[in-house]
Structures are given as C-alpha cells and as structure tokens.
A and B are shown apart, each in its own frame.
Chain A
C-alpha cells in the first residue's frame, strides 16, 4: 500500500496509506461525526472543495449502492479514515467503497489517528490541507498548499450547480398523481433527497442553475422558491442573494443550509465562519415555536449572525443547543423561512422533515391568496 501524507497548513502532518487513486489533492480539512452515511457524505455537493475526515473509525462496512447518492458525483476533495473495510456486507451493496472511490478518482487515506486529527482541528479550527502520495517534503507541500485559495471568499457553488434547468423525477418512480405545486429550486449544490422529499410532497420541482435570473424563475409561474444547500462562503453567491431579495414577499421561500445563509444575507444580515463548522448527525436543535428538540443532520462551516439582522423583520425560529448558533430564520411579514441544518437528513435523523410540510402550507396559503 502506498504511503500517503496529510499535510495541514499549520505544519502538522499525519502519515497513512493510500487505498485508492494516488496523486495529490488539497482542500479545507473538516471532520464529520456521523457514524453512518459515508456515501451520502461523499456525494453531498456541499463538501466541494473539502477533504473530509470521518471520526467513526470503520468506514465502508456496508459498501455502496446506487440509491444512497445525493448527487451525480463525488464532491469531496479527499477522504480520510482510520480503517477502510476490506469486505463489505449489506443486501443492497453493489460495490465496495474502495472501488467506488477509485472509480471517482478520489484520493482516500487510511491508517491515520483521526481522533488526534479531529482534536487538532477542533482546537486550531478547520484549515487547508493537502494529501499526497508522492511528495513527502514538508516544505514543498507547504508551498503548494499556499497556492490553494481558502474557503472564505471562494465560489464553489459555480462548480457544482447544474449547467441548465431541469425538472426532477426520481428514478424508477412513476408519477402517482398530478403534482399540486410547482417549485423553483435554485441549485447551489442541491442534495437529491431534498428533491425526493419535495416530490413526495406533491411538488414538481424545476431545478435552476445558481445564476438564474428572477424573471427566468417567475417564467415557470412557481408556487414557491426553494434555496438549496451548497458549498463554500455564502457571501460570494451574489446572484442567488439578489434573486432572494427580489423574491422575498412575492413568493413563499424556503432555504436550507447555504439557503439559510443566503436568506440571512438577502435580508441585510451578515455571515461568519465557524471555527470548525458543524458536520455530523447528532446536533440537538430546538424549534423555538414548538419548544421541541430535534436531533439534526448538520453540514456547514458558515453561520448567520443574528445580531446583524433587524429584529422587527426577522426572527430566530431554530437554535442549536450545543453552541446557541442560528439554525433557522423566519421573516415576520413575508412567507419566508430557512433552516441551517438538513431536514432532508441523508445522512442523519429525519426528525425535522415536518419543515417540508410547512413549506407546503406556505405555498397553499399563497395559492389561495392568488
């Protein structure tokens, strides 16, 4: 097995073995604490530009299958684990994880003290890193890493958004009944499970590229606008921010993850980068309206600053109980709300899927008014 090095921008390095494609890759190193769902993580476009470290040490146990994908490709820049499974076991598995990573040319490293690495990231914050299977010279790695742009200010959305508009249809599923709603979804890196759930809720979802104009969106006469999750710094996704400003008050709007940050920005607020982000499937979030706590799936490095928003216009509706950060916003006058975590789960608990119902109710209400 070829040796591999994970070099971090602060000079720390870890040695492991490469199991798949060899070469070099760089990105922001983040850790994910979910114990299941590595295939969903790998295919989640929000991870574009990032090297993901799984804190659960045994990865690949159940192989991969064609159903549990969140997009058409693998988006992580690199994958770091303690141990890859040599022989998977699951009735749905069609391929081993290693073969899958190889096929997608993802450099994956095993044999690393991922707990030490995670502790390091927690203490020092998420940072850039480079995996190499050929260059072990720290100075040279440092130089190469310097040339890689940082996550802040980088526009990753344009890398993952759809090139052209399309209408979502789940594979193998026949439309059972006529859709009740038409949703315009802005794809900043949308996860398939959002589209699947909207479909289950009777929506015909038109997926637009992230640079879609308001007029293009309105041209399909949508009942609601959905702002998707996506990678990177929300502040640079100016097209969508502008679109959201235009749509606010005119259409019911629902945003998830990056969509939540875009809503925050569109309503005049600011976002900031979290020290090491939230990536996992066990964060408790309180719905401040119902006072119920849901265990949520999380994946974000940026966050909305509540203080930057006008309290007469925007209210906090969901809050993270671990660090009291913003997990959801609602406009006090317009039919507009957004959620920082992932009610669509995949991977993670599905406690918050009721939020999709809320979007549906908003659209129903809006339709009646029309």
Chain B
C-alpha cells in the first residue's frame, strides 16, 4: 500500500517496544461479537493509481460538463471562468493540507487570507463584519434565521416567495427544530416587497432574496423599513455573488444580516459542493454570529498578526449555549473566493458583473423574440425566467437533443406550483454569441 510507510520490520520492532504481541492486543476492548475475523467482506482489495484513475475517469466521462456546449443552468450555482492562478494557489500544500488555524504562530498564512476574505465580504455586502465562511448559501440563510430569533427573542420567520426553495427548505428545517414558526409567502416571480406587508410585532426576521430565484432584482429598502418599524430584522439573501458588482448590496438596502453563496468567485460547479457560504451583519450583532471569526492582534514582540477570536460564541467553548454547532467551514473555498476577488479587484468585479448582465440582456432579447416565448422576469441581473407555450420539461428535452442545456425547469424546484411552463435561464461571461444563437435557433424549431 503506497500510502503506508511502516515496513513489517518496523511493525515488529514497534510492537516489541510497546510490549504487545500483535495489534489485536489493542482491540481487546471491542466486544467479542463485533471483532471481525478478517477483512470486511464484500469489498475489493487495494488498487494501484492507474486502476483507480481509469475507473474514476470512466465515471467522469459519463457526465456532460458545462464547458462542453451551450449551457444556461443557474438557479443557485453558476458557470464562471476561474483564473488558472486561483487553482494553483489553493493547491499549495501549505493551504491545502493544513488545519483550522488553532496555532496562530504557524498559521498566519491562513489567518491573513481569512482576514482579507472577511474584509472583502463585508465590503461586497456593504455590511460591517463578515465571518470566515459557512458551508454554503443555504446553510448561511438558515443560520441567519435562527440568529435573528436569538437577537430579537422572537419566534416568527417570514420567507419571501422568491427565496430559492432549497434555501427555504434548509431554513425551515433548522428553524422548526428550534421551535420557531416559519411563514412561507406564496411563490412569486416579483414579490419580494410583499414581505413589508407580512411583517408584524412577533416577527424575528423577514428573509428576502435579490436577485431572487427567478432572477428578479429588488430594492428591499422598503422591506427593511417595515421590518425595523416592527422591531424585526431584514435578512438579505443572494445566490449570485457576482451581482454585487452592480446590484444594490444588502447593506445599502438596510439589511441587518446578509447570507449568500460565494461559489461564483473562485469555485467550480462541482455538482453542488463544496461551495462557500458568505455571512455578514451589522457590528452590534457580532456576538450572536455563527462560525469562525478572524481578528487582528499583536504578538509578544508587538508585531501585527491574526488569530481566531470571539470564540466564546462557539461550540468548543460554549457547548450547548453556542450560537451554532458549526466547526469545520469552507476554508479552502474561501481562499479560492478571496484570491479570485483579489485578481479581479473592485474594478474587475464591476466589469465582470457588467459582462454577465449584458450576456443576459442579449439572451433575454433573443429568446423573447422567439414566437410564443415570454421573458417573465421584470428586472434581472444575469438570470431570468421564460414562459414557453408548452411543457418546460419537453422543451428542455428537445433542446438537449439539439446540444443545448437550456436551463432549469421551475417545476423541479417548485413541484405543484403551476410553473410547468417556466424555465429558469442564466447567462454569464462564459456565454458566447454562438451559444445564444444555438439556443435561439433550437427554441424556434421547438415552439
């Protein structure tokens, strides 16, 4: 076995030093009936690198990668170009094969990048402080809901009808397990402002999303005012972080907490994970935040350095009184995010956002010009919904035959909500004029 350095002689010598006859001596606490006589049965033995690579490559070849043709799927994960430098950086052994920075004297590399990450996320979301990442956008959203309940000491969580339904499901699950009540507003393509009417004196928070799952961008300022007027918080969610280069960010709209997905910067699609949850809030809420926080300090010589801080919020100190049970987060994905953001800079991000927006405008104009097809998202960034004159599943299947992955049918996300003819479509900087033409031409043939 190529990963095991001990030789048979080493093992014999070590057993002699220990004074044990065989490794079986170490397992005598295992109940007799549970001691396996040999290997676990029904499983193959070890294989060389070539054999493993061959098997996995064969599995990979059965999948159609997003780069292999016109591809328009979004709805929470986005196909973007990641600079080669980012992947080089995250494959540095010093970042890839280290642990959570518990020993700051030999982890300043990780800690400084986390401090920079937190600063970038706070700035992008226009809020005071950001943590060192969550698992993904959906779990960040769920944690934001229960944090709002702690802050306000109230029990009602209100979800907009434009919140990604998977985010809504993850939030409902965690909130209800903690005895909170979750109110889900009806599914709406352009209904974020309905949150303002729903908020009442028992509301802990309202959760709105912009751009929402149908791509609609909304200024939630009026919702923030309504929530604050009743003593509730506004949680502002986003699934496409590139939008923050152009679209009004949570903090500018008066949000108290921002929770979103950071996959678009630095991270590949990876079939849904690992991704990186972004979480930021106003400064006065910081002691109720979940997750790791990196802070600045000095060492014994007075030199500036960074440490994990405010850990009295966390499970390893506070145990059942902790703000969250999170321990491992998305460290390496946060590094991918921050290094991509560093390569872009504020100016580059804005330009990238413009390119995304323009690709979506051109796509929307092209698809909307197809007879019988209607773009139903009123204001959008880089994704929108279209309504087709026939069942969306059939349309997508026919597009697939033409080599076009045309989007996500809304009924996959909202079964039973009468959205059978709606397709969610995304464009990014990767979308070419040829891609748009291929989609448009194929759609003309179908409808």
Chains A and B form a bound pair: no
